[in-house]
Amino acid sequence: MASLNKVFLMGNLTRDPDVRYTPKGTAVADISMAINMVYRTQDGSDREEVVYVDVVTWGRQAETCGQYLSKGSPVFVEGRLQLDQWEDKDGQKRSRLRVRAERVQFLGRGKASEGKAPAPAPSSEGQAAQRPPAPGPAPAEEHGHPEEDDIPF
């Protein structure tokens, strides 16, 4: 039988993203989300339920989350469930279920645009456009100038 592990969540961050780097330099960001649901009980009163979910994201997407998101930011997360298991310092087995994000879409204005004109928030699909230029001089042809060897005189 085939299996499926896919999660779609929409909610708000409960705190600023926590970005750190692995020893090899890969970015990892932990974000926490609150997902609110309002429903009507049998007696006709409205009731609100909040679910808190921990999410981890990796690589350039983690860096972008740290740069553009802050507490209260609305996000849409697509990912999969991941079970983490470890032993604590007392030797007790511990585990937690969280979401490993495959895509984080920003739904509102981020912290980089606070107090400025609204700017479109990047999504994880547009990460290549958000990368800073590579170090060193850019090739002259990219700026409309031919290389010296290409000048005909």
pLDDT tens column, 59-105: 999 999 999 999 999 999 999 999 999 999 999 999 999 999 999 99
Q: Is position 143 within any domain?
A: no
User: What's the domain range around 2?
Assistant: 1-39+46-114
For residue 142, tell me if it sits in a domain: no
CATH, residue 100: 2.40.50.140
Residue 149 placed within a domain: no
Are 86 and 129 spatial neighbours (Cβ–Cβ below 8 Å)? no
Candidates 101, 103, 58, 65; CA nearest to 82 is: 101
Q: With respect to residue 80, please indicate whether it lies within any of the assigned structural domains.
A: yes
- Looking at the structure of the chain, the number of domains it has is 1
pLDDT tens digits for range 13-56: 999 999 999 999 999 999 999 999 999 999 999 999 999 999 99
Residue 19's H or E segment, with its range, is strand 18-21
Q: In angstroms, rounded to a whole number, what is the distance separating the alpha carbons of residues 99 and 33?
A: 10
Query: CA angle, corner 10, sides to 6 and 13, nearest 5?
Result: 115
The encoded tokens of residue 19 equal 């970005």
Tell me, yes or no, whether 126 lies in a domain. no
Q: Distance between CA atoms of 144 and 141, rounded to whole angstroms?
A: 5
Give the integer Cα–Cα distance in Å for 24 and 19.
Answer: 15
What phi and psi, each to the nearest 5 degrees, are found at residue 134?
-65, 150
In a domain, 124, yes or no: no
Reported as a single tens digit per residue, the pLDDT across 106-121 is 987 655 545 443 444 4
Residue 104's nearest CA partner among 81, 78, 127, 71 is: 78
Rounded distance, CA 33 to CA 54, Å? 6
Q: Does residue 7 sit in helix, strand or coil?
A: strand
